[in-house]
Chain A
Amino acid sequence: MAKISAGVATSHVPLIGVGVDQGKQDEAYFKPIFAGYEWTKEWIKKPETKPDVVVLVFNDHASAFGQDIIPTFAIGCGEEFSPADEGWGPRPVPTVKNHPDLAWHIAQSLIIDEFDMTIINEMDVDHGLTVPLSAMFGQPEEWPTLVVPIMVNVVTYPIPSGDRCFRLGQAIKRAVESFPEDLNIQIWGTGGMSHQLQGPRAGLINAEWDQKFLDDLTADPERLCQIPHIEYLRETGSEGIEMVMWLVMLGALTNPKELHRHYHVPASNTALGHIVLENNP
């Protein structure tokens, strides 16, 4: 049977992708950004941890989708997804390969489980999905894992609540665990942490709030599920709301144990956060 072994969360700041693509990891600005991924890069290579498939929760940033269609929750079921041209040419990264049988199985299970997913076969994937892969795997010829993309609208309000995201994660867990193939699955949550990219309040960072959020991924998940949108917006900036996607990851885990944590300010406009959680069902 397929099993979820771990959860990984990370910010998906485009600048991380720039650092990897342009080989800037050793420059003074980038060094502390990349240092915190070293542990994970070693960990994820080990035969006992290396995922067969990553269920990767991300959001599109007006790349594959405009305002014409705005799915709240979507799942990529197509065979592969090319890196999106976000306005300056696609990132020089491998095509993302799906496990379509697993993806369709998850789609079926989620919909029966009352999460009315939008099913996507054709989609280019932007930095929200490719930057986390670059942060964990560097610059391989092919990504060393298959990826089932789960897309969440966190741009056009109302976006789903944190609690709803957590319950989607629980439903993903039920879906994965009923798939007959023996697969080592990881679930990744991406985006955040505190940042605001707009208006006179832009540049907001709330390290104290972010650290408490990281603590409570293991100490008090219930509290995190109850955080309303207004608190994310006030405390972590308008784009800090992306952290609800970490709760999808959290919902798919049982008794998570923290293995590794990284927090650094700034990565361009953003507080960068990254955590690795072991699943203990």
Chain B
Amino acid sequence: MVKNLKNYKEEFKDIPGTRVFTTELARKGYHLNQFCMSLMKPENRKEWLADEKAYLDGWKVTAEQRDALLARDYNRLLELGGNIYYLAKVFSTDGLSFVQAVSTMTGMSVDDYKAMMDAGGRSPDGVRSIKEGT
């Protein structure tokens, strides 16, 4: 198998609208993602919902991560090292399904997103490569 040691991470950046959870994002998002994991416990969810800002004071998240969390800006959270399976703990606590939460990242309404999925999903044509425009 051809090994791409040098540009392994680089070529991921060529995929439009996609953030691959690379080592640098895992490094950046560690405390953010571990905060998300804490919401697996019912007592923590209760505390988080009662006072989000106070709850976040107990976590070493950056100011940017904190703002993005409070704003539920999932595209920004991905950029700041959040991983979708971890962020799912936040939107599940809000009572959102994957379809509802994921649609917020696409700029589409939930209904339009659902209609797209029912019609066979988003075509890969035109969203494979930024460089190639294919």
Contacts and interface: CB of A to CB of B under 8 A. Distances in A.
Nearest to A87: B92
Contact of A67 (B22, B26, B128, B129): B26
A234 B128 contact: yes
Nearest to B128: A234
A281 interface: no
B21 A155 contact: yes
A198 interface: yes
Interface in B1-57: 1-2, 4, 8-9, 11-12, 15-23, 26, 29-30, 33-34, 36-37, 39-40, 45
A156 B124 contact: no
B33 A228 contact: no
Contact of A85 (B12, B40, B88, B116): B40
Contacts of A230: 4, 11-12
A66 B20 CA distance: 17
B11 A157 contact: no
Interface size class of A (residues with CB under 8 A): 35 or more
A201 B122 CA distance: 8
Nearest to A238: B18
Given A62-B36, A199-B75, A204 B4 contact: no
Contact of B23 (A157, A194, A271): A157
Is the contact region of chain A dominated by helix, strand, or loop, or is it mixed?
loop
B100 to A, nearest CB: 10
Contacts of B65: none
A204 B88 contact: no
A234 B124 contact: yes
B105 A200 contact: yes
A165 B115 CA distance: 36
B37 A62 contact: yes
Contact of B102 (A163, A198, A206, A235): A198
B59 interface: no
B20 A207 contact: no
B4 A199 contact: no
Contact of A201 (B15, B21, B33): B15
Nearest to A85: B40
Greatest chain B CB density within 10 A among A228, A238, A239 is at A238
Interface of A: 14, 61-63, 66-68, 85-88, 155-158, 161, 163, 194, 196-207, 209, 225-226, 228-230, 233-235, 237-239, 265-266, 268-269, 271
30 contacts: A62-B33, A62-B86, A62-B89, A66-B34, A66-B86, A67-B33, A87-B88, A87-B89, A87-B92, A88-B92, A155-B83, A157-B9, A157-B22, A197-B102, A198-B102, A199-B17, A199-B78, A200-B17, A200-B105, A201-B15, A201-B127, A202-B17, A202-B102, A230-B11, A233-B18, A234-B124, A234-B128, A238-B19, A265-B120, A265-B121
